[in-house]
Structures are given as C-alpha cells and as structure tokens.
Copies of this chain bind each other. A is one copy, B any other.
Amino acid sequence: MSVSLVAQDTLMISDLGLLPNTRENAAPFVNKAMAMMEGKQNRVLYFPQGRYDFWPHHCIEKEYFESNTYDINPKRLGIVMDGLTNVTIEGNGSEFIFHDRMQPFTVDGSSYVSLKNFSVDWDIPLTAQGEVISSDAEGFTIRINTNESPYIIENNKLFFVGEGWKSALWEVMEFQPDTRFVEPYTGDAQALGHGWQNYQTKELSLGLVKLYRKGGFKRHPKVGNWLVLRHSTRDHAGMFLVNSKDIAIEGVRIYHTAGLGVLSQYSENISLKDVKVVPNKAKGRFLSGHDDGFHFMGCKGQITVDNCEWAGLMDDPINVHGTCVRITEILSPQKIKCRFMHDMSAGMVWSQTGEQVGFIENKSMRTVGFGTIEAYEVINKEEFTVQLSAPIPEEIKAGAALENLTWTPDVEIRNSVFGSCRARGLLLSTPGKIVVENNRFQSSGSAILIAGDANYWYESGAVRDVTIQNNVFEYPCMSSMYQFCEAIISILPEIPEPDSEYPFHRNITITNNTFHPFDYPILYAKSVNGLQFTNNTLIRSIKIEPFHKRQAGITLDACKNVTIKGNEIEGDVLGKKVEVINMNPKEVKMPSKEFFKF
C-alpha cells in the first residue's frame, strides 16, 4: 500500500455547500465532489467533523451483482468512487448516517483508494432489537425502542416499518446484556426453539410487545437478555469494493449495514486497519451489521486485516472464498457451459480471458486438472460459457465444478477481536498463504471454519498454506451450534465421497495458541494433507456445561501427515481423546508423552 501523502489536493465537502449536523441529504453534494475528483490525482475529500445524512433521494443507482447478497437491483449508492485513482476520503471522525436501504460506500474500478476516520450507521437500522422484560407460561414480553425500530402488528405478527420499507420478523438471536455474548445453546437451535414461527404478538403499550403461542415456545429467552430481531433482507453491502486494487480502510466504525459489512469482489490488495463492525454502544445497541463482517470473494494479491473487531453481527466476521460454478454441459472438448449454483452469486462476471481455472470432480472434490480461459461469454444471469486454451480433462463431465485459481489472495489477519456474533468467527477457503495470528476469538460457533464445497454453497476453494498461531480462543467459542461447527477449529470440506489418498486441504498449522474449551471438541479436521497441531495451551473453561455431540478433543477424518505434539494443558480439559476415522492411524505423529490419546 503506497497511498502518496504528498502534494494532495484537498476538497472540503463544506465548500460545496454541505455543512455537518444540518441533516441535509449529503448524496447530491458527494456525487458532485466525486465528479470533481475524476481525472485528478492525490485528491482528498475532507469532511469537517460532524454528522452527515445520506438518503436515497438523488443518490446514484446502479445494477451490481454482489456476492452473497440478493439480486435486488438497482443498488442505491451513498458515496461512490468509480474509476478514480489515488483518492482519499477523510472523515475526520464524522458520523455518516444512512436512511432506507442503501450501500454506504462503493469503490468500483478504482485504485489507491483510502477511506479513513468515520463511522457508518443508521438511525433506523434494518434489524431490530428488544430487551426481554418478562416471561410466562405462554410467552415473553420485550421492550422495543420505537424511535429506532418503529413496528406495527398485522394479523398478530410483528412487522418493522422504516424509511420506505416494511418487513416481518423472521429470526430471533439472544444476547447476554453483560458479556454481550450470544446466549449459549441457542444459535441455529433457535432462541425460541424450533417451530416458534407460528407465534402471535400483541402490543401491551407503546414499545412493549408480547410474543406468545399456545402452550408457550420450546425455549423462552432469559429475562434481562436482549434479542436481536432479524427482519428484512441482505441487499446492499456496507462497503462494496469491486474490480479495484490497493484499497486501504482505516479508523472506520461500521455500526450497521443492510447486508455484508465490507464486501471485496474481484479486487486486489486490500488493507483493513482499525476497522470495527460492532454495535453502537452509545445508542444502547446489541445489533450491528445485518450479515457478515468482512467478506472477500474472488480477490487476489494481499489481504491484510489488522487491529479490527467484530461483534453483534448476524453472520461470520470474516469469510474469504472464491465461487465455484457447476459445469452443466460439455459443448466441445474446449468449451463448456457453466451455471452459478447459488442465487446470491448470479450475475457476477466470473472470469476474464487469460485466467487460470481448476477442474474439480465433484464427488471426490479432487482437482483433476487445470486450464486457461480463452473466452468468457454470458448467457444469462445464471449461465455462461467458457472457451479453454486446451481440451478439458477427460474425467470432467457435466456435474463437475470449475474453480477460478487466478482470483485467490494471500491473507494476514492479526491483532483482532472476533467478538460474539451469530455463526462462526473466521471462514477461510483460499489456496493462498494464510496467516492468522495474535487474535482473540469469542465466537458463538466455531472460531475458525475451513470449509470448501462444490455441492451446496459453491464457495471454493481448498487451502494449501494456513498458519494459525498465537491466538486465544476464549469461552464462548463453540457455545452454540451452527452449520459446519464440529469443534473450535472446524475443517470440514463437503465431500460426498472422500478419497483419503487425495485430501482436499493441505498444510494447516495450528501452533502456539491458547484454547479455553468448556466442551470436548477442540479441532475437527477432514481431508487434510499436512496438519500440525503443536505447542498449543489448553485451559478448561467452566463457564457452561458441555453440550456438543462430539466427545473427542481432536477428530481426524481422511487426513494424511498429521502431527500432534508439544501441546500443554493447565489443569484439565475434557477433550483429551484423538479420534481417527476413514484413515490409517499411522498418518498421525503424536509422541506418547502427549496428553492427547487415541
């Protein structure tokens, strides 16, 4: 990152007529400022410190296909950098307040962009919350701040109504008021238990709402806990970086979004320092972003995350992955037809001429060959064809998957706090060099998930070089169950017919970390060739009772070349057993003095 700091030309937003704290719609002023940046170098757009409001009125609207985001278009854009080079947004500690459904920042086809020193929030967020006031046999009562989450009740159901939208409650997440952790044993098991959706609501007084059901819910939230009341859909990122490179984001607080927090897509070299996607405590909020924190799909170069924090998110803090597509038809030896398999991928430009791809046999998940794109042609939002420079491998039939290997970044994540959010902490699926160090994890589900599948989510790809070191995995890691959460670190590619001769993932080193497990499973690894679990310290937490179905500390499934050694326990831990399945136990090197035992 080398954003030049010399000879910068500063444009004050106030010189265009927009003063802070006026509540005036900033959108047209910012659009004018951006037009003035075009063709200029080293420009800084400077916001005098204060509050700035952004409304859809006069905002730029553009069609974007954003990964892991619903195709609701056009997107409504707040601050847009389109085709700019060497520009900085200096917020100087300002608050950017958004209204309705909007995408606060869009960086498209730009390079050397720096976004600094501001917060992003909504007065009326797209997720609501309420404090549990009382509970009885048939249900419970919550208090909702009607200024920030106005609601109506229609046909005995709770709907939130905001700036241009009405949306029904569709999920409830429960947080503890003091720790701000997700209440243990909830997660995908639901705070209200399964089948809660046939609830009824009545308003006891303004802001005091009872949710109830004949015979009560299977589980009632605890009085004093806070519920995040999920409604609306994920339709805009907080920041969308696309087809851009050398982006630095620093000193930013993202208190809310209408979807993913920072979504980087087909972009190169991204640095996030001191970026926090957390609840706005000054507003008494437990909710933060609507979905994931930082989401990197199809990026390359270096991704650096340093001194960041996430909490109160309704999905994973970080997810780094590519997007596999399904080969639906072999049109000729060098031409295939492909399909996006997830509705939140459709419409993206999946590759460019000259890019490298891998052919994945979808039952074993083996990459059986490589190729180079010669031509890419869109058929419709879901389908495209690719012409390859050489014939495709013979093993590849319709039903196999294609992975883009050009857009695969190296990743460094350090000195950050993965606070309690719905779901997991860190999802990694990229073959680049990955270093995860000096972080604190307080995840509700698994702290780290290394997945990879070509059959359901179609998020590629296999890892080849992962180092997880000097991190602390605190309670409440793995205190609620979510998809793919088999242990505090869960390595779980989805392979229909695993072949232990050809593991999917490679070279994962977990060393010098401290774990505070209250439960058995610490590490689950499936289909890894070259796994080190060394020199870690395990200290049992007694905060809550164990609940996970697994009773082994380490479970190895179809792995090769595993080393477990030098780990220490302080006191005792529950998960001392190493369970080995679908593989030869001799693939595990573990000294006999190790407290872990088969």
Q: Which residues of A contact B (CB under 8 A)?
A: 21-25, 53, 55-57, 59, 99-100, 146-147, 150, 154, 161-166, 206
Name the one of B22, B24, B56, B164 contacting A53, with C-beta atoms under 8 angstroms: B164
Q: Are A163 and B163 in contact (CB under 8 A)?
A: yes
A265–B164 CA distance with the chains assembled, in angstroms: 32
* A57 contacts across to B, CB distance below 8 A: 55-57, 59, 100, 164
A53–B166 CA distance with the chains assembled, in angstroms: 11
Q: Are A164 and B56 in contact (CB under 8 A)?
A: no
A120–B165 CA distance with the chains assembled, in angstroms: 19
Could you say how many copies of this chain the assembly holds?
Answer: 2
Q: How far is the CB of A22 from chain B (nearest CB, A)?
A: 6
* A55 contacts across to B, CB distance below 8 A: 56-57, 100, 163-164
* A165 contacts across to B, CB distance below 8 A: 23-24
* A24 contacts across to B, CB distance below 8 A: 164-166
Q: A22-B166, A99-B164, A163-B163 are in contact. List 6 more A-B contacts (CB 8 A).
A: A24-B164, A55-B57, A56-B57, A146-B147, A147-B147, A147-B150
Closest B residue by C-beta to A166: B23
A206–B206 CA distance with the chains assembled, in angstroms: 14
Of A55, A146, A163, A165, most buried by chain B (CB within 10 Å of CB) is: A163
Query: What are 18 A-B contacts defined by CB distance under 8 Å?
Result: A21-B154, A21-B166, A22-B166, A23-B161, A23-B162, A23-B164, A23-B166, A24-B166, A53-B164, A55-B100, A55-B163, A56-B57, A57-B59, A57-B164, A146-B147, A147-B147, A147-B150, A147-B206
Q: How far is the CB of A203 from chain B (nearest CB, A)?
A: 13
Q: How far is the CB of A90 from chain B (nearest CB, A)?
A: 24
* A99 contacts across to B, CB distance below 8 A: 163-164
Q: How far is the CB of A428 from chain B (nearest CB, A)?
A: 39
Q: How far is the CB of A54 from chain B (nearest CB, A)?
A: 10
A57–B55 CA distance with the chains assembled, in angstroms: 8
